[in-house]
């Protein structure tokens, strides 16, 4: 098997089993090769190259995830650009916004708690869809339906609130 074919097989495996894509896979793949070559230099032989690379990619990815958890990356140039952190906003607008959020959260919580949780994790806390699935313990398909239901309920509640105000 050529190196290119092996890489494609490992890339498919990593995307299915580890949810590892793009540059993250490339880094883990390169790290796996580095570990295997270092092991060869130290006298350890490899019987099944693909299996050894899978194991090394898995371990490299776990190490990277642990490192990221210890040192989270925040890509924010200006903290005032984050939602809810605007120092120049009018206090009356902030109170009105908070009231709308309370109404929406209350309506979502009563109708479907899991949809509210999915929307909150995704939209407010900024979790990725995979992180939301892991946190709530649902499949990707359930995530899509719950997220869509939560957004639809929010739109309905906001429209009803806007009609009541107008």
pLDDT of 30-64, one tens digit each? 999 999 999 999 999 999 999 999 999 999 988 88
The whole-angstrom separation of Cα 86 and Cα 6 is: 50
pLDDT for the residue numbered 94: 62
Among the ranges given (33-42, 54-63, 130-139, 157-166), the one the predictor scored with the smallest mean pLDDT: 157-166
Q: 97 and 153 share a domain?
A: yes
CB 22 within 8 A of CB 16: no
Task: Show which of 37, 70, 103 is a domain's final residue.
Answer: 70
Q: Looking at the domain assignment, is residue 97 inside a domain?
A: yes
Residue 44 CA to residue 148 CA, distance in Å, equals 52
Residue 62 in domain: yes
My answer on whether 152 and 104 are in the same domain is yes
- Which one, of 161, 145, 146, lies nearest residue 104 by Cα? 161
55 and 95 share one domain: no
Q: For residue range 60-97, what is the model confidence (pLDDT) as tens digits? A: 988 888 887 765 544 444 545 444 444 445 666 666 65
pTM for the whole structure: 0.44
pLDDT at 59: 92
Looking at the fold, whether 157 and 93 belong to one and the same domain comes out as yes
Give the mean model confidence (pLDDT) for residues 128-152: 89
In a domain, 54, yes or no: yes
Which one is predicted more confidently, 164 or 109?
Answer: 164
User: What contacts 110, CB < 8 A, 6 or more positions away?
Assistant: none
Q: Are 64 and 28 in contact (CB under 8 A)?
A: yes
**What pLDDT sits at residue 109?**
52
Q: How many domains does the chain have?
A: 2
In-domain check, residue 78: no
Residues 20 and 60 in one domain: yes
Q: Does any domain span residue 48?
A: yes
Residue 30 domain boundaries: 3-70
Residue 75 is assigned to a structural domain of this protein: no
For residue 165, the model assigns a pLDDT of 77
By CB atoms closer than 10 A (0-12, 13-18, 19+), residue 146 is buried
Same domain for 52 and 107, yes or no, is no
Handedness of CA 94, 97, 101, 106 (dihedral sign): positive
Give me the CATH number covering residue 121.
Answer: 1.10.10.10
Q: Is residue 166 part of a domain?
A: no
In a domain, 83, yes or no: no
């Amino acid at each position: 098997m050529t190196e290119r074919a092996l890489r494609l097989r490992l890339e498919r495996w990593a995307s299915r089993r580890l949810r590892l894509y793009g540059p993250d896979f490339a880094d883990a793949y390169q790290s796996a090769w580095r570990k295997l070559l270092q092991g060869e230099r130290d006298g350890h032989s490899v019987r099944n190259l693909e299996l050894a690379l899978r194991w090394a990619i898995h371990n490299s990815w776990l190490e990277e995830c642990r490192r990221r958890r210890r040192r989270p990356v925040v890509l924010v140039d200006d903290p005032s650009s984050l939602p809810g952190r605007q120092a120049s906003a009018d206090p009356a607008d902030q109170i009105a916004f908070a009231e709308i959020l309370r109404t929406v959260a209350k309506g979502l919580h009563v109708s479907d708690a899991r949809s509210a949780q999915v929307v909150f994790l995704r939209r407010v806390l900024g979790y990725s869809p995979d992180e939301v699935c892991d946190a709530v313990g649902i499949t990707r398909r359930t995530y899509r339906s719950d997220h869509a239901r939560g957004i639809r309920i929010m739109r309905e509640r906001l429209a009803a609130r806007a009609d009541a105000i107008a």
